[in-house]
Amino acid sequence: MPTTTTTNTQDAYRPHDYTQDQINNGQRQINYAITQAEKKLVDVLTIMKDALQAPPGQTRTYVDQISMAIDAARTAIGHVASIRPPGCDETWTPPPPPPTEPAS
């Protein structure tokens, strides 16, 4: 299934352009892509943990590994939104952040 790497108003998602089976297949691909992106983020955290636990003076030896892991995570995350259908809808509004003060 072809994917795009950009989402804009010209490439807006129109549900009527797709069958329910196509939408379901796209969602399955998105679900899998999210798990792959999450694994890449765990890789970043693992390398950073290893760097923090390294003996003094050796922490900087992890910088290249951390940079490569971050790039891999960025690529994987970017791929999730490119899957069509349904792709990424730029009109989506995230929920508001939780309150900063505890409720009394």
As for how many domains the chain has, the answer is 1
- Cα(27)–Cα(41) distance, integer angstroms: 21
pLDDT digits (tens, 9 = 90+) for 58-97: 988 999 999 999 999 999 888 887 777 766 665 656 667 7
What distance in Å separates the CA atoms of residue 73 and residue 81, rounded to the nearest whole number? 13
- In a domain, residue 85? The reply is no
Question: Which residue in this structure is represented by tokens 């804009």?
Answer: 8
pTM above 0.85, yes or no: no
H helices of 1-104, in order, are 20-53, 63-80
CA-based radius of gyration for the chain: 19
**Which pLDDT tens digit goes with each residue over 25-68?**
888 888 888 899 999 999 999 999 999 999 988 988 999 999 99
The whole domain housing 36 covers: 9-80
Tell me if 34 is assigned to some domain. Answer: yes
Evaluate whether 15 touches 98 at the Cβ level (below 8 Å): no
The verdict on residue 3 lying in a domain is: no
Q: Assess if residue 88 is contained within a domain.
A: no
